[in-house]
Amino acid sequence: MFEIKAKDGLGRIGRWQVGGKTVETPTIMPVINPGKLIITPREMRERFGTDVIITNSYIIYSSSRLQERARRKGVHAMLDYEGVIVTDSGSFQLMQYKDIGVTNEEIIRFQNEIGVDVATSLDIPTLPDEPYEKAERDLETTLARAREARALRDGPLNGTVQGSTHLDLRRRSAHELVGMGCDVHPIGAVVPLFLDYRFGDVVDIVLTAKQELSPAVPVHLFGAGHPMALSLFVLLGCDLFDSAAYVLYAKDNRYLTVSGTKKLEEMLHFPCMCPVCREHTPHDLLAMDDDVRTRLLALHNLHVTYEEFKRIKQAIHEGTLWDFVEMRVRGHPKLYFAYRKVKEHADFMARFDPLVKRSTAFYTGEETAWRPIFKTALSRARERVTPYQTVAHPIFGDIPASLIHTYPFNMEMDRELEADVPERTMVEEIADYQFGHGAGARLCTGATLSHSRSDRVRSIMSGDEVIATIRARDGLLILGKEGQSRLHDFLAPPHYRVVVDNEVASYAEAHSDVFAKFVRGVDSRLHSGEEVLLVDEGDRLLGSGTLLLAPNEIPHFKRGVAVRTRRGVEVEDDQS
């Protein structure tokens, strides 16, 4: 089971439950070679809080010693690890050696027997740029094996998206795998593209697959574990990553950073404060025995990888993942040009990207203007608002002057925009932008405006009753009970409504969050992050809240919150 806790772009902080164990995504799955343990899974769990690892069932199966131990003890006891264990099937070896002497049925039954948490069928990883006919034949085999595995598998199963660099085959693969009810969707055979720095091709593959995959199923980008590229592919909707690079690079005296890889022999100082780098110099490590040096470099490489995921998750929480990615892609020209491909997939991404963020957007360069949701916001402003005055925005062009302090038009740039709009007009135009033309006049009828200590408009009032409050962090309106009622009367169904199952309507009315499985309808034109009205199946007003999931995501989820209900305008405003 998978649920979303926070979103930005297509990136999400998720809660993935497997066999009674919980993993927070996005995260890395360190690759474990059970025959050559440089760092044990137990040590990873103790040092880094590693909740999930990936190992190769084929390597275990092909070694009589390891196979006997795994059959006798189970894979968790064999690896001395209590977290989630995902297994690959030998597909990478199949790509290298063409024949590995085991059938799909044998490897699935073996994974069942040794008690893995998530198993993988013996898919065919077709190399990039292979002829279409070969890629199609390989895909047919992959899909047939996935169907066989689904029938044989006792528990969660990976459904690996294949198709080489042929995007229509990737799309077909993703579509058919969804119909099989797979529990995780790895995107396979991209390692050769990463090795050749063909990040742009990986962007196309990921976003093509994402258009077919269920948003309620985690996506694993196979073999993508370098910290330099993690944030970009989280932004594009990947939840799980795996990495053998932490140890393979260590064996080759290579040191991972978030901006690339450095050769130990060429380093004078370590640009890191992890325990390894704090206690040693590059010269110290070079003087050590190979095994000791490899282990210490591997520990550093894991540290920098986990640290990057913490930064990424914090950026998602703050709504600043786009800012973070635009900083990171400047670490390599190929990453920067891969990021430019976002423009080609803007319409798809805009359907999921929250329209409202917790933090003000930062201008980082011309690529800032490519963010898909900005096009949505500008279109909405021009369609809904009849401006009293316009101003020339360096990114958006002419916009209503009343919106210069409203997200996303309040972007941090080199200068502040100025406008002279009457306060009441400003508030009405903000409401029109947010809820539709005419909403401002309805909310402000017979109302007065209250001000903060800094003399900025704070609330729309009807006597002592709060109609709405302007939230400081994004310049948008939070509805009070009177505002909810006015907007409900003004807007005809289904506008700005989320319909809640009658059986749980009383809980929503008492300010309990609304879970996705209890949503019976939603305005399809909404975006996540928006203020919405909650109604029962008879359109009785229950309250308001913030839409966490996009309308086209909600039907896929059986678990998790769809709307965070409003618990009080004054409390919310104080937190802003």
**Among all residues, which ones are annotated catalytic?**
88
Q: How many angstroms separate the CA atoms of 46 and 322, rounded? A: 32
What phi and psi, each to the nearest 5 degrees, are found at residue 296? -65, -40
Whether omega before 394 lies within 30 degrees of 0, making that bond cis, reads no
DSSP code of residue 362: B
Say which residues have a Cβ less than 8 Å from residue 431's Cβ, sequence separation at least 6. 439, 440, 443, 444, 468, 477
The DSSP letter of residue 511 is: T
Q: Coil, helix or strand for 69?
A: helix
- Rg from Cα positions in the chain: 26
C-alpha distances in angstroms, 6 versus 176, 389, 559?
Answer: 28, 36, 14
Q: How would you classify the pairing of strands 2-8 and 11-18?
A: antiparallel
Which segments of 409-534 does DSSP mark as H helices, in order?
423-435, 439-444, 481-490, 505-509
Distances in Å between the Cα of 562 and the Cα atoms of 21, 292, 321, 512 are 23, 49, 21, 11
If DSSP codes are grouped into helix, strand and coil, which group holds residue 257? strand
Q: Please tell me the distance from the alpha carbon of residue 263 to that of residue 281, in angstroms, as a whole number.
A: 13
- Would you mind telling me the total number of residues written for the chain in this entry? 576
**Helix or strand (DSSP H, E) at 272:** none
The answer to whether the CB of 7 falls within 8 A of the CB of 107 is no
CA 20 vs CA 4, 74, 117, 534: distances in Å = 18, 17, 10, 33
Greatest alpha-carbon span in the chain: 82
Q: How many helices (H) and strands (E) does the chain have?
A: 24, 25
Please name which of 573, 575, 571, 542 lies closest in space to residue 563, comparing C-alpha atoms: 542
DSSP letter at 154?
A: S
First vs last C-alpha separation in the chain: 32
Paired tokens of 558: 């059986």
18 vs 156: CA distance, rounded Å: 8
Contact 7, 548 (CB under 8 A): yes
CA-nearest of 295, 289, 198, 221 to 10 is: 221
Nearest to 254 by CA among 301, 218, 214, 220: 301
